[in-house]
Structure 1
């Protein structure tokens, strides 16, 4: 597959690279084998060698972007997305989350409906890579894994491991826990094996689903269970995900039950590794960030759910300054939006509020004068390359990397010109401007390029340029009308 046009990515934190008129060649296994300016001798030679492949020309006013990476979603909680956000974390889990997980474990047909729709919504929102918390029942998590593989999404699926019951005595929810640490570990091993078998008959590059060991969080796991999961991870090089220092009531629960901080519990169990992603981490301090950096542990930053369930915002700038790998998570249903674009915007907004507080009360901020805010370019890095690096992936365009890119879909075609409608049949790109009609796509308006309001004809000398300003406008107010389906590992999904 050959594509020629504009490609946009963020190779480093705060860096936006716009590759104008570039040629990208993708092989049959979905890996990028060529990327260079289209008018170079190198690109001409590559086109000559691959003359059998038609060149897909990306129309002006459109660009290709790496897919978004969502580091933290509770898949069964998608059942009640957008409701039940009125309680503190531990009561919310008992009232809503465990009830939903129980329902899906007891109803495989409902689970398949929910997870199939979840995959559809992820694709609509430009998310090509996702890390998922599931339920405690193996069969339900295999349904989740199969739904993601069938949808063509790159998914890291976690079967919950829980041997401590946190259901309150007066709860309407049934007890939601595994019988013992040994039973939980046996179930984790079985899930890892059976998840690996999904897609085993496919070429290795198209096996998109991986298992993730998932101790829910310290309050639901004995030391024996945590240590056993660490052993499974070390032996099989299996990724790990959990929650760390998330909310005031959760942190206090751990202190009361264990007598230490939950980061110490994870560290003693050898679960802080370079294969580990910990969600939230809002209550960690600088020394604890140092420990995560030393271990190579990554963080899933979930700004929206933090606003609902944490008593304080995540110290994002401090974590980035320490060199920790950080990506974004929507944390559905603790967060109500599946759209990583909202997570990007919220991450910036929260950071600017923290910076405002530092300026107003520098004596209480404890930041040594550093600017705590991040900008939209840094947020775009977190949503693409940052989250990908946390999972051992790439999230950018370079030779040897998988071609995971966002495209648009035909449902955005109505307001577009005939030329872009034809291009949409090939399911391409992120559209922000239609040069044939001289207007922006969706809610994007470019008044300096439009007609005078009478003739409806665009200005004769005005030419749209995909630059930092145009991309920032899309970042701030763009929506699903500017994007749609995607390539994952070179295949359209």
Structure 2
């Protein structure tokens, strides 16, 4: 594949790069083999050695790396947009556990729900997603199969939980749960031998649903097979208080002594962690899935995003469906900025203007692309346009070149239009699925 046009990516959390009239080549393995200005001597020489003509992007379009969703409960897509009036622990009993149990009992329903979920993810430009599943192996294998057929990078977690407030939705014992986790990992590895496309993830739901024996065993399993780990950490006031009451310590310490805070770990939320606790995560190499929408519903505090970024913690964005009602990472980006600005406003009103707690739209775009790729440990260069990186890309269409009318919600009034930072910002604020013309993962169009 050869493409010529405008490319947009975030090299760093504060750096937006817009590259006009560049030439990009993708090999049969779906990796970028050439990326340079179309008028450069390197591009001229490259074109003399091949017979293919490049695809020219319309002037009103640009290519952008696909989004990464670091936290999504696949079975909860069944009731997306319901039950958000309840506190977290009540909501789990009333909605989450019931939905997960229902899909575990009905493979046909599970496949139908997961197939639609995959279609929606592609519509929203999500190329990589970290998924919580259910406790039943078969249902999670269905989830993996659906994501694989959709072509999405999917990291699938079979839930491990040997304690539950719902007696019908729990594994029999720590040993039973560990055996099930080993079996799931083994079957996933035997079916999906292409790394970074569909992989298993060790998934203790969170501390309240896991015994110390189970957590320690999962940490050992993850270490022995170099597996990713995901869970929830310091999410809500009632959850934090439950752990303190039952364990006599913070869930951060419970995870750490169980060897579950590693460079392969992504912990969702972390809203009740102070700055020193965030430093512990950084020391462990653990990443945070920031889910601003669900935090607004289920946490009494916002995540300390500015502080986390300033100290170099790995952070990406998550939709947290169904604790969050939107599958669109663009909404997560916007909500991350809004939440940070509210924190900054509170800071100012408390007469503390020395530090800035707000983030801007470029930083949010970085979190959705390159930051998410780093947090997930995706292959070299993911989230960027550079030689050797996989071609995980979405084509964004801003205006129709024949009519000069903006696509979707976008309106432009200048005769001479060019893709500038201001134009990209307008899309970031107002754009939607109507602006997404195509999506590729590993060079394959979805």
The two structures share one fold, judged by TM-score above 0.5:
yes
Q: Which residue of 2 aligns with 1:65?
A: 64
In the alignment, does 2:118 pair up with 1:119? yes
> 1:175: how far off?
2.0
Larger radius of gyration: 1
- Aligned mates of 2:189, 2:169 — CA distance in 1: 26
Other-structure match for 1:241: 230
For 1:327, the equivalent position in structure 2 comes to 316
Pairs within 5 Å for 1:376-415: 376-393=361-378, 394-406=382-394
Alpha-carbon distance in 2 for matches of 1:284, 1:218: 15
Q: What is the CA-CA distance between 1:199 and the residue it aligns to?
A: 3.5
Cα pair 1:31 1:403 within 8 Å, conserved: yes
CA contact (8 A) 1:160 1:216 kept: yes
Contact 1:88 1:309 in 2 (8 A): yes
Deviation at 1:484, TM superposition (A): 4.4
Note the alpha carbon deviations across 1:127-181, whole angstroms, 9 max, x for none. Answer: 11100000000000000000000000000000000011222xxxxxx52110011
CA distance in 2, matches of 1:273, 1:296: 6
Whole-angstrom distance in 2 between the partners of 1:50 and 1:261? 60
* Mapped pair 1:445 → 2:433: no
Deviation at 1:197, TM superposition (A): 2.4
Post-superposition CA distance 1:100-127 (Å, at most 9, x none): 0000000000000000000000001111
Whether the 8 Å CA contact 2:369–2:383 is kept in 1: the answer is: yes
- CA–CA distance in 1 between the matches of 2:175 and 2:383? 38
Tell me the distance in 1 between the aligned counterparts of 2:322 and 2:399: 34
1:418 matched residue in structure 2: none
Cα deviation digits, residues 424-446 of structure 1 (max 9, x gap): xxxxx210012221111111111
Identify the residue that residue 157 of structure 2 maps to in structure 1: 158
Q: 2:272 aligned to 283, 286, 294, which one?
A: 283
1:265 pairs, out of 209, 230, 254, with 254
- Distance (whole Å) between structure 2 residues aligned to residue 298 and residue 70 of structure 1: 13
Whether contact under 8 Å (1:123, 1:485) holds in the other structure is no
In structure 1, C-alpha distance between the alignment counterparts of 2:351 and 2:368, rounded to whole Å? 30
Q: Runs in 1 of length 4+ with deviation above 4 angstroms?
A: none
Q: Residue 181 of structure 2 aligns with which residue?
A: 188
Counterpart residue number, 1:452: none
TM-score (norm 1): 0.89
The reply on whether 1:142 has 2:141 as its aligned counterpart is yes
Residues matched between the structures, number? 443
Alignment partners' CA distance in 1, 2:247 and 2:50? 62
* Within-5 A mapping of 1:152-231: 152-167=151-166, 175-200=168-193, 204=194, 208-231=197-220
Cα RMSD, aligned residues only: 1.1
Counterpart in the other structure of 1:465: 418
Q: Does 1:20 align with 2:20?
A: yes
**Structure 2 gap segments, 5+ residues each:** none
Preserved CA contact (<8 Å) 2:234 2:272: yes
- Distance in 2 between residues matched to 1:25 and 1:402, nearest whole Å: 11
Contact 1:218 1:254 in 2 (8 A): yes
**Counterpart contact for 1:126–1:484, Cα < 8 Å:** no
Q: 1:352-385 CA deviation, whole Å, 9 max, x = no partner?
A: 000000000136xxxx821000000000000001
**In structure 1, how many angstroms separate the alpha carbons of the residues matched to 2:4 and 2:204?**
45
Taking the aligned partners of 2:218 and 2:400, their CA distance within structure 1 comes to 52
Q: Give the direction of change, closer, same or farther, for the CA distance of 1:103–1:484 in structure 2 (3 Å limit).
A: farther
Q: Secondary structure at the match of 2:77?
A: helix
Asked whether the equivalents of residues 397 and 437 of structure 2 are also in contact (C-alpha less than 8 Å), the reply is no
Q: Distance in 2 between matches of 1:254 and 1:102?
A: 24
Distance between the aligned counterparts of 1:137 and 1:111, measured in 2?
A: 11
1:369 match: 354
* Match status 1:475 vs 2:428: yes
Q: Shift in Å at residue 50 of structure 1?
A: 2.4
Aligned partners of 1:485, 1:220: CA distance in 2, in Å? 41
Matched, 1:433 2:399: yes
Name 1:301's counterpart in structure 2. 290
Find the aligned partners of 2:89 and 2:275 in 1 and give their Cα distance: 26
Deviation at 1:231, TM superposition (A): 0.8
> Which segment is superposed worse, 214-223 or 437-446?
437-446
Say whether the 8 Å CA contact 2:282–2:313 is kept in structure 1.
yes
Give the TM-score, by structure 2 length. 0.98
Q: 1:27 and 1:435, CA in 2 relative to 1: closer, same or farther beyond 3 A?
A: same
Distance 1:54 1:74 in 2: 43
* Structure 1 match to 2:345: 356
> Secondary structure of 1:64's match?
strand
Which whole-Å CA distance do the structure 1 matches of 2:155 and 2:438 have between them? Answer: 20
